[in-house]
Amino acid sequence: MSEEVTFWILDVGYEIIASQPYVLLWGISDKNERILVVDSNFRPYFYAVPKETADLDRLKDHISRLHGVLSVDVLTKSFFGKPTTVLKITCNLPTVVPKLRNEVKKIPDIENYLEADIRFYMRYLIDNDIYPCKWYRFKGYSVSGGFWEKYNISKIYLLQSKLEPLERDVSPRLRILAFDIECYNPLGTPDPKKDPVIIISTANSDGEKRQFIAEDNDDKTVLVSFSEYVQQYDPDIIVGYNSNRFDWIYLTERAKVLGVKLIIGRDRGPPHPSVYGHQSIVGRANVDLIDYAESLYEVKVKTLKEVADYLGLLPKEERIILSLVEIYRYWDDKTKRHLLLRYAQEDADATMLLANVALPFAIELSGVVGLPLDQVLAASVGFRVEWYLMRFAYKDGELFPNREERAYATYKGALVFPPKKGIFNNVVYMDFTALYPSLMIKYNIGPDTYVPPFVDVSPENVYVAPEVGHRFLKEPPGLYKKALSVLLEKRKEIRQKLKTLSSDSIEYKTLDVRQKAIKVIANASYGYTGWTGARWYIKAVAEATTAWGRETILRAKQIAEKLGLTVYYGDTDSLFLENISEKINEFTRLVEKELGLEIKPDRIYKVIFFTEAKKRYAGIDDKGKLDVTGFEVVRGDWAEIARDVQEEVFRYVLTEKKPDNAIKYVRDVIKKLKRKEIAFDKLIIWKTLSKSLDEYKTKSAHVTAARYLQRHGYSAPPGSQIGFVIVKGEGKVSERAVPYQFAKYDDIDIDYYISKQIVPVAMRILSVFNVTENQLLEDRQASLADFF
């Protein structure tokens, strides 16, 4: 009866059957079957912290009698590194935990409750050391019929053993479905109460494409046939673009309005709102790829098309671009409808292609931090770090602090040295390997090793942070030290292994993505310590890390100077040094010896340029690649034409080391702009709406443009990017901003683009070469006169 099965975990959840909780593990077996593994033996619990004076036996007795309590155990755990006695209260159902924790807190002898907000299935994963998107072997027997009929799945097993982790790196072949919806929107942003879903486009990982179309604007059949298709194709992962905030919400609303059932999950149910603003689909992983796009900081405007272009996913030619205003017109015009259908299909195709890039990363991230695949991209960086830490805390018997609201607190951060203004040859960019994580490991910095002021410890037992004086126990190794050491060691190990693998093997790709996922978490760990929303927040922890960081970079700078190396610039963990290889080798050796940390050359610049501004430089590296940092070229809130001009100016100046051709070039662009020969799109300025429109205290261009959109029926929620142009007319610049979709080229204020976009970004560089503004603005006649 009992079978041994190997499977990969796709999704987790739970179900209450006959008043008993069952943990559900959805997965794919090594025989490529979709299976559900059910564990009936786990029960939810939380902790109560008794007051010091409390009579534990009486408390235990009292709590045991509360409705829903199965057992109460007195345990000694650790809280912020201090041994702490707690009562572990095991309950019959996850749903009673919130009620019980409030009841328990009311008991006079109880100080507080802990870990009462850990969702049941996460508790299960942590306590059993199970990671999603990993392979496990178990013994179980197959069940069917009765209650289990409700699930659309090949096999269901009742778990008869522990899950045994397997060393298998490559994920199974997953079925992925990409989808995108188009809605009828004659009045702007569509309203599910009245506007039908005219098209649902899909593309799947087996190369199949399907569209569901609302003939005569009747979308009932669209929703029904889409549901049928989802059940028939039975995808493991459903991907969309902005689907958490738009498509799924629209579809569920629309289904309600029409009175049809949206049958999406393996429970044959609709998606439902879940944590981190994502929509959860039972038994499948619903992944919104816009969450992945957020991490692509080089893409300035986060539309699906821009992201696909950046990743080189779609051929640019023959692509149809429709603005929001055009969708319903193309739909209504039967001669143009086929173009809308093609446009819609291209979106689904692009989503599928994006999934090929994003999902491998999401899968590895899920495997590192332990959050389910459908949550891991939706969860913000802070939560990812926290879930990772919680795994280590659990293993050490360290209790999870409660999440609490705290006032914002400031502290001193990193050092940035003023750059040497000018243009220089042969410069090497040196940076410390994972500086902050390394410092946290080296000095055992952490919430559980922190020794508050006035606590008495012998000085030889603590590390003392410079400037700020915060103390941390040298022993035992703390939570952060343990968690970060594993990350850094694993990454090192993987990078070593990668060298032995062929770069086009699946294993290589998987491991390479994994080491990147590890890097993301390691890099975010210091930021987590200074986040007031963190469970383990202690300001001194963040403050000590930056203090040691400042000391480190300062000492490295002194070492370089002592060797006679010119230091051009430095920021946080990096130094730009004169590239003299013997001295650089000596420098690396001395840093290692004196500071006990690794610093490495990261990039060599044949030529590099600094102004007096910090955080801005441009250079050409030893591979001939132009690298611009900080300047407008890399900023999304400047018109593309200004960014183009600045990039070209850098190219001229860095290769020719004089401004002559750059000046000519800028004049030429200005001339073209005056003749309206510059593409309209290059004049669009994009800015993010950081809050709702009425919260803004001053007039600003993108807010004016957003209000314009709103007046025309389009929503402009916080977080949306507003593209606008500046038009001619009276008044302030901010009053003359118009959404680009509503502006004509003839209305554009060319002078604004010359004097406030092109000239400033060019002058930023050219003023260093003593070029004046007039040299850029004079036309050819005047400049010739100048010459003679």
Alpha-carbon distance of 293 to 297, in angstroms, equals 8
DSSP letters spanning 9-48 = EEEEEEEEETTEEEEEEEEEETTS-EEEEEE-S---EEEE
* Structure tokens given for 536: 């383990």
Minimal distance, residue 26 CB to DNA, in Å: 26
- CB 617, min distance to DNA, A: 7
Residue 633: CB minimum distance to DNA, A: 9
State the minimum distance, in angstroms, from the CB of residue 229 to DNA. Answer: 32
Parallel, antiparallel, or unpaired: how do β-strands 285-288 and 721-726 relate? unpaired
Q: Contact between 689 and DNA (CB under 7 A)?
A: yes
Cβ contact 689:705 at 8 Å: no
Does residue number 531 form part of the binding site for DNA (CB under 7 A)? yes
574 binds DNA (CB under 7 A): yes
Interface with DNA, residue 123, by CB under 7 A: no
- 77 vs 47: CA distance, rounded Å: 10
560 near DNA, judged by CB under 7 A:
no
Helix (H) or strand (E) holding 503: none
Strands 574-578, 422-432: parallel, antiparallel or unpaired by DSSP?
A: antiparallel
Does position 401 interact with DNA (CB under 7 A)? The reply is no
Contact status, residue 169 vs residue 152, Cβ threshold 8 Å:
no
Closest to DNA by CB, 137 vs 764, is 764
Query: Helix-strand-coil percent breakdown of the chain, rounded to 5?
Result: 40, 25, 35
Q: Which stretch binds DNA (CB under 7 A): 48-56, 375-383, 437-445, 673-681?
A: 375-383
The residue from 153, 181, 214, 634 that contacts DNA (CB under 7 A) is 634
Is 701 a residue that touches DNA (CB under 7 A)? Answer: yes
Q: From the list 448, 573, 578, 640, which residue makes contact with DNA (rule: CB under 7 A)?
A: 573
Residue whose CB is less far from DNA, 138 or 617: 617
Stretch binding DNA (CB under 7 A), from 22-30, 580-588, 635-643, 779-787: 635-643
From residue 495, alpha-carbon distances to 483, 488, 492, 707, 761 in Å are 19, 11, 5, 50, 40
| Nearer to DNA (CB atom), residue 37 or residue 685 | 685
Least distance CB 64 / DNA (angstroms)? 34
Question: Is 132 one of the binding residues for DNA (CB under 7 A)?
Answer: no
Least Å distance, CB 471 to DNA, is 21
Query: Stretches 92-100, 110-118, 176-184, 530-538: which one binds DNA (CB under 7 A)?
Result: 530-538
Considering the complex, state which of residue 251 and residue 765 has its C-beta at the smaller distance from DNA: 765
x/- letters, 465..504, toward DNA (CB under 7 A): ----------------------------------------
Report the nearest approach of DNA to the CB of residue 214 (Å): 34
Q: How far is the CB of 731 from DNA (least distance, A)?
A: 8
* Helix residue spans in 451-505 (DSSP H): 479-498
* 277/452 with CB nearer DNA: 277
Residue nearer to DNA on the CB measure, 697 or 711:
697
Pick 205 or 552: Cβ nearer DNA: 552
Q: Considering only residues 724 through 743, tell me which ones interact with DNA, judged by CB under 7 A.
A: 732-735
The label of the residue with tokens 């999934």 reads 355
Q: Is 68 in the site for DNA (CB under 7 A)?
A: no
Interface with DNA (CB under 7 A), residue from 572, 710, 775, 783: 572
Binding of residue 756 to DNA (CB under 7 A): yes
Task: Decide: is 764 part of the binding site for DNA (CB under 7 A).
Answer: yes
CB 311 within 8 A of CB 360: no
CB contact set of 330 (below 8 Å; sequence gap of 6+): 322, 336, 337, 339, 340, 343
**Cα 672 to Cα 675: distance, rounded to the nearest angstrom:** 5
Q: Does 394 engage in binding with DNA (CB under 7 A)? A: no
Cα angle for residues 690, 694, 696 (degrees, 5° grid): 55
By CB under 7 A, residue 414 contacts DNA: yes
**Contact string 293-332 vs DNA (x = CB under 7 A):** ----x--x--------------------------------
- As to burial, measured by CB atoms within 10 angstroms (0-12 exposed, 13-18 middle, 19+ buried), residue 408 is exposed
- With contact defined as beta carbons under 8 Å apart, do 557 and 422 qualify? no
Contact call for residues 73 and 86 (beta carbons, < 8 A): no
Instruction: Determine the residue type at 147.
Output: F
Site for DNA in 218-277 (CB under 7 A): 277
Q: Tokens 């779609």 correspond to what residue?
A: 314
Between CA 12 and CA 23 the distance in angstroms is 7
From the list 194, 562, 635, 744, which residue makes contact with DNA (rule: CB under 7 A)?
Answer: 635
581-620 residues near DNA, rule: CB under 7 A: 611, 613-616
Q: Which stretch binds DNA (CB under 7 A): 127-135, 309-317, 587-595, 691-699?
A: 691-699
Least distance CB 56 / DNA (angstroms): 34
Alpha helices in 730-779 (DSSP H): 750-752, 759-766, 773-777
Residue 441 or residue 722: which is nearer to DNA going by CB? Answer: 722
- 174 contributes a contact to DNA by CB under 7 A: no
Closest approach of DNA to the CB of residue 733, in Å: 4
Distance CA 271, CA 282 (A): 8
CA-to-CA separations, 128 to 37, 161, 293, 394, in angstroms, rounded: 14, 12, 33, 10
723 is a site residue for DNA (CB under 7 A): no
Closest C-alpha to 712, from 62, 187, 141: 187
The angle that helices 506-529 and 479-498 make with each other, rounded to 10 degrees, is: 150
Least CB distance to DNA at residue 427 (A): 12
698 binds DNA (CB under 7 A): yes
Can you count the helices (H) and strands (E) in the chain? 23, 30
- Under the criterion CB under 7 A, does residue 636 sit at the interface with DNA? yes
Closest contact distance (angstroms) between CB of 571 and DNA is: 4
Look at residues 36, 40, 37, 35 and name the one whose alpha carbon lies nearest to residue 22: 40
Residue of 17, 56, 409, 457 interacting with DNA (CB under 7 A): 409
For the beta carbon of residue 197, count every other beta carbon within 10 angstroms. 26
Applying CB under 7 A, the residues found at the interface with DNA are 277, 297, 300, 380-383, 409-414, 416, 431, 524, 526-528, 530-533, 542, 546, 571-574, 611, 613-616, 629-630, 634-637, 686-691, 695-702, 721, 732-735, 756, 760, 764
